Amino acid sequence: MNTLSLHPDEAKTTISRHIYGHFSEHLGRCIYGGFWSADDTLREDVIEALKEIQIPNLRWPGGCFADEYHWRDGIGPRESRPTMINTHWGGVTENNHFGTHEFLELCERLGTEPYICGNVGSGTVQELAEWVEYVNFDGISPRADERRANGRETPWGVKYWGVGNESWGCGGNMRPEYYADQYRRYATYCRNYGSNRLYKIACGANVDDYRWTETLLKNVPHHMMQGLSLHYYTTNWNEKGPATGFGEAAWFDTLQRTFKMGELLERHGALMDHYDPQRKIGLIVDEWGTWFDVEPGTNPGFLYQQNTLRDALVAGIHLHLFHSHAERVHMANLAQTVNVLQAVLLTDGATLIKTPTWHVFEMYKSHQDAKNIPLHLACGEYTLDGKTLPALHASASKAADGSVLVTICNLHASEAQPLTVTLGGTFASVTGRTLTADAFDTHNTAENPDAVAPQPFEGAVLSGEALTLTVPARSVTALTLR
């Protein structure tokens, strides 16, 4: 019998809503065709769908694109903005019609915090400093005046600023010692204006490059760096495999790779605890998610992939891992919001599809800003070809109104899991929903948009301080106790 014990009395750490953040790059059809329509307006359907999952922040303009993006090209009348080549992503011509004003208007419409990533790889200190001034300064200055002339009187007060992206790779191929010095220069001139205190995020490690993390922690004064990032994609770089049409071996392999995130949070977190024992610096996982082969017939540089039940499990487990490290993980950003990698939304012309990953974010949204409940899960194994994974993975949180959300992933491809939950308190009611499908690779399409959508789950029985249920095979289940 699988057992899950919750300890609500020990729930102290808040799960920052920023763990539920997203990332949108000028890549493929994320911006153009995703957020921005062909007639140069924001897509209202995309805005509505993202509001439903309460996205707390949005990172932009990249990614690799950020380090060759020059923000001045994206302001002023659209028809006179210069074009550029998007060398990283398909070599297409970028018309700069979606720039600073459009992005910040989008964030206002979404009710989400913008997170702007500055150009360190090919931009200057002055260019980044002036971007901050343009966006945030309320007084009389050349940049603030220019912003007003472009139609925006009040500053936006953007708090989150990334100082370069993947500076160890596409952002300049720097050594950590060199980047640490560059960070100090660039961050120095990103000024606080008015009451707005910037939250500056240094480029952190690629996966398990612990030397990068340690070098940054040793060489950047801690008051200059509010966050340090980490990037990890759930993929096999040698053979990514298709996003659909896969078998159990690929299902298992992807889920196994998902757990690497837990190890990374532990080990980068341990280094941060050593150098920053008071945990002032946030670990910002600003790129995570699956990376499969592009859909056949699509531009390889556009990273367009379908999204299946497997992606839902990957999302559910990641979010649980972030919750259990919430004392250090202050933000995380799924790559990427629309039409790219593990997207929550897919568009095809005027059609909009909510992916299984969107549903997980919707089912989990009450975890945002709730208190993480420490738990102990004793469960059986899921074994395939001599390799094992835990069959279940779970998380629980307590919201301000006293309700408790328990989310459970059953990784097992074919076996439902009986589970007894000891709640550590009594509740009057339980309601539930579960997300599952007959096949591993079930996904939503224009013809069948709800092939993977949560269904009511009525199999949870409350008795005193215990809850019993059978968790369906290959599922994500959310239970709310009141």
239-278 binders of ligand AHR (CB under 6 A): none
- Our CB check for ligand AHR shows the closer of 20 and 291 to be 291
DSSP string, 73-128: GGSS-GGGPPPEEETTTTTEEE---S-HHHHHHHHHHHT-EEEEEE--SSS-HHHH
Q: Least distance to ligand AHR from the beta carbon of 55, Å?
A: 17
Report if residue 62 touches ligand AHR, rule: CB under 6 A.
yes
Binding part of the chain for ligand AHR, among 56-64, 153-161, 313-321, 472-480 by CB under 6 A, reads: 56-64
Cα 480 to Cα 332: distance, rounded to the nearest angstrom: 24
Q: Among this protein's residues, is 130 annotated catalytic?
A: no
392-398 sheet: strands from edge to edge: 371-372, 392-398, 404-410, 475-481, 430-435, 455-456
68, 94, 102, 166: the active-site residue: 166
Report if residue 172 touches ligand AHR, rule: CB under 6 A.
no
Closest CB to ligand AHR belongs to which residue? Answer: 63
25, 68, 102, 287: the active-site residue: 287
| Tokens (6 digits) for 451 | 């092939």
Report if residue 166 touches ligand AHR, rule: CB under 6 A.
yes
Which helix (H) or strand (E) covers residue 51, if one does? helix 44-52
What is the 3-state secondary structure of 414-479? CCCEEEEEECCCCCCCEEEEEECCCCCCCECCCCCCCCCCCEECCCCEEECCEEEEEECCCEEEEE
| Tokens (6 digits) for 235 | 């993929």
Binding part of the chain for ligand AHR, among 59-67, 215-223, 355-363, 391-399 by CB under 6 A, reads: 59-67
Report if residue 165 touches ligand AHR, rule: CB under 6 A.
yes
Half-sphere exposure of 450 (CA within 13 A, CB side): 3
341-360 binders of ligand AHR (CB under 6 A): 341
Task: Name 175's Cβ contacts closer than 8 Å, sequence gap at least 6.
Answer: none
- Our CB check for ligand AHR shows the closer of 303 and 396 to be 303
Binding mask 22-41 for ligand AHR (x = CB under 6 A): ---x----------------
Binding part of the chain for ligand AHR, among 6-14, 52-60, 74-82, 335-343 by CB under 6 A, reads: 335-343
Binding part of the chain for ligand AHR, among 58-66, 243-251, 358-366, 453-461 by CB under 6 A, reads: 58-66
Binding mask 280-299 for ligand AHR (x = CB under 6 A): -------x------------
Report if residue 205 touches ligand AHR, rule: CB under 6 A.
no
Report if residue 335 touches ligand AHR, rule: CB under 6 A.
yes
Q: Among this protein's residues, is 287 annotated catalytic?
A: yes
Cα 170 to Cα 75: distance, rounded to the nearest angstrom: 25
Which helix (H) or strand (E) covers residue 286, if one does? strand 282-290
CB 303 within 8 A of CB 244: no
Report if residue 167 touches ligand AHR, rule: CB under 6 A.
no
Cα 63 to Cα 303: distance, rounded to the nearest angstrom: 13
Active-site amino acid positions:
166, 287
Interacting residues toward ligand AHR by CB under 6 A: 25, 62-64, 165-166, 287, 335-336, 341
